[in-house]
A and B are shown apart, each in its own frame.
Chain A
Amino acid sequence: MRDCWARPVGDCLETLLAVKNLNVAYRSADGSTQVAVENASCEIGAGEVLGLMGESGCGKTSIALALLGLLGAEQAQVSGSIQFRGKELLTMGEREMREIRGSGISMVFQEPGIALNPVMRVREQVAEVIHAHKQMSWEKCQEEAQSALVRVGLPDTPRIFSAYPHQLSGGQRQRVTLAQALACEPALVIADEPTAAVDARSQQELLRLLQQLQREMGIAILMISHSAEVQARLADRLMVMERGRIVEQGRFEELYRRPSHPCTRAMLRAPMAADDAEELDFATVT
Chain B
Amino acid sequence: MTRYLTRRLAHAALLLLAVSVFSFALLQLAPGDFFAPLKLNPQISARTVEGLRAQYGLDRPWPVRYGHWLRGVFHGDLGPSFAYNSPVAPLLAVRARNTLLLTGTAMLWAWLIAIPLGIVSAVRRGKWSDRAGGVVTSALLTIPDLVLFLAILLLAVRSGWFPTGGMVSTAFGELSGRGRAMDIAYHLFLPALALAIATLPALVRHIRSAMIEVLQAPFIRAARAHGISEYRVLLRYALPVAANPLISLFGFSVATMLSASLLVEVILSWPGIGPLLLEAILAKDVYVVLGTVMLSSVFLVLGNLVADLLLFAVDPRIRMES
- On A, residues with C-beta under 8 Å from B are 68, 70, 74, 98-103, 106-107, 109, 111, 114-120, 128-129, 132-133, 164, 166-167, 177, 180-181
Contacts and interface: CB of A to CB of B under 8 A. Distances in A.
A282 B4 CA distance: 61
Nearest to B218: A114
B158 interface: no
A128 B320 contact: no
Contact of B229 (A68, A70, A132): A132
B47 interface: no
A109 B229 contact: no
Contacts of A116: 219, 222
A93 to B, nearest CB: 14
Nearest to A116: B219
Contact of B232 (A109, A132, A177): A132
Nearest to B243: A119
Interface residues of B, number: 23
A164 B227 contact: no
Contacts of A118: 219, 241, 316-317
26 contacts: A70-B224, A70-B225, A100-B227, A102-B225, A102-B228, A106-B225, A107-B222, A107-B225, A109-B222, A111-B218, A114-B219, A116-B219, A118-B241, A118-B316, A119-B240, A119-B314, A120-B237, A120-B240, A128-B223, A128-B228, A128-B232, A129-B227, A132-B232, A133-B227, A164-B317, A166-B317
B224 to A, nearest CB: 6
A180 B226 contact: yes
A114 B216 CA distance: 11
B315 interface: yes
A167 B315 CA distance: 13
Given A98-B229, A164-B317, A128 B236 contact: yes
B270 to A, nearest CB: 40
A129 B228 contact: yes
Nearest to A190: B225
Contacts of A99: 227
B221 interface: yes
Nearest to B127: A74
B282 interface: no
A111 B237 CA distance: 18
B237 A117 contact: yes
B217 interface: yes
Contacts of A68: 225
A111 B236 CA distance: 21
Nearest to B314: A119
* Closest 5 pairs (CB-CB, A-B): A102-B227, A101-B227, A102-B226, A115-B222, A114-B218
Contacts of A114: 217-219
Given A118-B241, A164-B317, A167-B320, 11 more contacts: A99-B227, A101-B224, A102-B228, A107-B225, A109-B225, A115-B222, A117-B219, A119-B240, A119-B314, A128-B232, A166-B320
